[in-house]
């Protein structure tokens, strides 16, 4: 299997894993790319031992394991300085505002859905969301008292990660990506 074929197989496996698993984690594109690259290297290592990518499914979900490992890194063991935290929050606010969303900074960053049409093409009503960044990584929840449980967002706690989080939030609020607060509870990718 060539490197390109292995990477394509890995990307497909990661896409399938994010669609069919029931975890409450949202992944930004950069983390999905990282997952596909890691999975392709694991597939390649298996091939050196005559283990085909499809053979892994007989014993474990290697794609889900890769996603879980990255979610652990980005969603539970984040070390960030005060200055890095503020730089990431500032980048998030700037990117959300630049995308035409109304942002209400505070302890959590509240974001209102686009004003023109708060319904997605599927007729779902979008509510404001609140974002935060802490040692537990990024999270998103409905911005209302006693709202939904938060969803972790697997994204770097950096300015670049903040821009990817903003793009994901924009897609969710504009109906271009599935609403993570809808009844299904499936993983969402940008």
The confidence score (pLDDT) of residue 127 equals 84
- Return the closest-CA partner of residue 164 out of 92, 71, 109: 92
**Strands 25-27 vs 188-189: parallel, antiparallel or unpaired:** parallel
d(CA 22, CA 14) in angstroms, rounded, equals: 14
The confidence score (pLDDT) of residue 77 equals 81
Given a cut of 60, is residue 84 above it in pLDDT?
yes
Given a cut of 80, is residue 188 above it in pLDDT?
no
Residue 119: which pLDDT band, with cuts at 50, 70 and 90?
A: very low
The helix/strand/coil state of 82 is helix
Total-model pTM: 0.82
Long-range contacts of 100-104 (CB under 8 A, 24+ apart): 101/169, 101/170, 101/173
Q: Of 112-116, 121-125, 146-150, which range is least confident? A: 121-125
């Amino acid at each position: 299997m060539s490197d390109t074929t292995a990477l394509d197989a890995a990307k497909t496996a990661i896409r399938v894993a994010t669609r069919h698993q029931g975890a409450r984690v949202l992944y930004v594109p950069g983390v999905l790319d990282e997952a596909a690259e890691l999975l392709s290297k694991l597939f390649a290592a298996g091939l050196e031992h005559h283990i085909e990518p499809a053979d892994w499914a007989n014993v474990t979900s290697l794609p889900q394991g890769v996603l879980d490992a990255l979610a652990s890194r980005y969603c539970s063991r984040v070390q960030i300085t005060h200055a890095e935290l503020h730089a990431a929050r500032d980048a998030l606010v700037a990117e959300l505002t630049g995308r035409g969303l109304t942002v209400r900074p505070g302890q959590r960053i509240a974001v209102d859905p686009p004003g023109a049409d708060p319904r997605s093409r599927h007729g779902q009503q979008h509510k404001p969301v609140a974002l935060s960044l802490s040692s537990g990584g990024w999270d998103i929840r409905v911005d209302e008292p006693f709202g939904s449980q938060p969803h972790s967002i697997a994204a770097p706690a950096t300015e670049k990660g903040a821009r990817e989080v903003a793009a994901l939030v924009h897609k969710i609020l504009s109906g271009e990506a599935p609403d993570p607060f809808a009844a299904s509870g499936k993983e969402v990718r940008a």
